[in-house]
Amino acid sequence: MRSILTALQDGRLFELPEGASKERVLGFLARILDANPNMESGLDAGEEITAREKECNTGIGLGVAVPHVRGRREEGELFCAIGWSSLGIAYDSPDGSPVHLVVMYYIPGAQKNVYLKEVSTLVKAIRKSGGIEPIAKASDLNAVRNLLLDWVSSVLGDAGPESVARMIKLEVRHAQAPEAAPGAPAPAGAASGMAAVPAAPVGPPAGPVLVFSILLAPPGAPIVLAPEAEWVAALERDQGLAQKLSAGAPFSFGRLQLVVSGSTTFAGGRVLYQCVAIPAAAPGADLSKS
């Protein structure tokens, strides 16, 4: 499950909009694949996956789907993007169950066997953990990330990749830990493991996709948590940013389309939005359309 581990490390785990159709979900995740610098040029993930889905449903049961696009070249690395839905997506899977986890893969020719082994290992991890129920009922994206890391750790050996999984898990949990001033009361949600203050997001992967966060803390202006200083300053000057975020629909900013992939509400009306910025010209479905 190395590609799943890499996706978690690079910030390619997204909360899918409530009520999103299968077509919208596939279109969104395909855009993430298309924007990855390791994706071969001239290959449209959205078109390839739509055509393949018509031939064969990629729901594998257990609340999971593994849509994929096969590369035309042999060389390259297997990689994926992951979408999570707490309500579940009507996917027409063979077992009739709604899909809560969509893992979309890009498979170079030389990585076919690696892909098959990863999917087999994923199924093994789900069954070993008792099913999809914990992820389906997860409170937020951070909880999903930790559960996925548990899956990775459960099926790997005591050395190598498992050590990496544990390291990332520790980093994630450390970032989520409350950071209250000495003597200050614990903020609402701290007892359940919610972060008292937002952690800076993991740096964006190399390439045109930017994963970042925005904190709304009324009555102050939105605070954008991203590494690019000039871009952050420009976005924070957008007077309508708070309204756009609360609307939940994708919106344009310059040459980018910004998508809210999840949010966490804190005491005092504070909301932390998890966002992804994708080049507006990138191919794929628009999540603002049904």
pLDDT tens, residue by residue, 88-142: 999 988 888 899 999 999 999 899 999 899 999 899 888 888 889 999 999 888 8
> Which among 187-191, 204-208, 215-219 has the top mean pLDDT?
215-219
Q: Which amino acid is at 101?
A: L
CA 151 from chain centre, in angstroms, equals 16
Strands 210-216 and 251-253: unpaired
Q: Which of 10-24, 36-50, 76-90, 200-214 has the lowest mean pLDDT?
A: 200-214
The whole-model pTM stands at: 0.62
Give the sign of the dihedral formed by CA 234, CA 236, CA 240, CA 243. Answer: positive
Residue 157 confidence (pLDDT): 53
Residue 104 confidence (pLDDT): 95
Q: How far apart are CA 182 and CA 128, in angstroms?
A: 42
**Is residue 148's pLDDT more than 70?**
yes
In the sheet with 210-216, reading across from the earlier edge strand, the strands are 223-225, 210-216, 271-279, 256-265, 251-253
Which domains occur in the chain, in start order? 2-164 (3.40.930.10), 198-279 (no CATH)
Residue 136 confidence (pLDDT): 92
Q: How far apart are CA 36 and CA 283, in angstroms?
A: 12
Q: How far apart are CA 224 and CA 215, in angstroms?
A: 6
Residue 9 confidence (pLDDT): 80
Higher pLDDT, 138 or 188: 138
Alpha-carbon dihedral of residues 233, 36, 64, 273, nearest 10 degrees?
Answer: 0
Residue 180 phi, psi (nearest 5):
-85, 150
What is the pLDDT confidence band of residue 279, given thresholds at 50, 70 and 90? low
Structure tokens at 143: 């909880």
